[in-house]
A = this chain, B = another copy of it.
Amino acid sequence: MKYEDIKLNDIYEIEKTITSNMVETFAEITGDKNPVHLDEEFAKNSIFKARIAHGILVVGQISAVLGMEFPGPGTIYLKQDTKFLKPVYIGEKIKISVEVKEKYDEKSRILLSTKVFNEKGKLAVDGEALVLFKGE
């Protein structure tokens, strides 16, 4: 994709399921072994009532969309802001939605809204990314 092909308000959406394996592996490579992510029994008695994914693992799914799909190869991450509004549960199918909010032509930068919806369609993670994108 070329910088010129990206238009204001363009939206890219994709669905993905957060698996138990993804959460356990993320716990290994970061060291975040909070039992709310790993221990079914502990999680059941927490305010979440079941095991949840690490927030940053969910943000990693956004990052993968930016780097691989939209805008895709050539994207350099400058900024990512995120608000964690609702938990994402293990096995939950999420929808990642990326929308072009601003283009700064002189610097080849793009401001994108980055939203993650849970299986019930509620906004789970809200945020914004700023990327440098000169195209492939």
Binding site for B on A (CB under 8 A): 21-22, 25-26, 28-34, 54-57, 59-61, 63-64, 67-68, 73, 77-84
Contacts and interface: CB of A to CB of B under 8 A. Distances in A.
A59 B59 contact: yes
Given A55-B80, A81-B81, A25 B29 contact: yes
A78 to B, nearest CB: 6
Contacts of A28: 25
Contacts of A26: 26, 29, 60
Nearest to A87: B76
Given A29-B60, A32-B64, A56-B59, 8 more contacts: A30-B57, A30-B60, A30-B61, A55-B63, A55-B77, A77-B84, A79-B83, A80-B84
A67 B34 contact: yes
A80 to B, nearest CB: 5
Contacts of A67: 32, 34
27 contacts: A22-B29, A25-B25, A25-B28, A26-B26, A26-B29, A26-B60, A30-B60, A30-B61, A30-B64, A31-B64, A33-B68, A34-B67, A54-B63, A55-B63, A55-B77, A55-B80, A56-B56, A56-B59, A56-B60, A59-B59, A59-B80, A60-B60, A77-B84, A78-B84, A79-B81, A80-B81, A80-B82
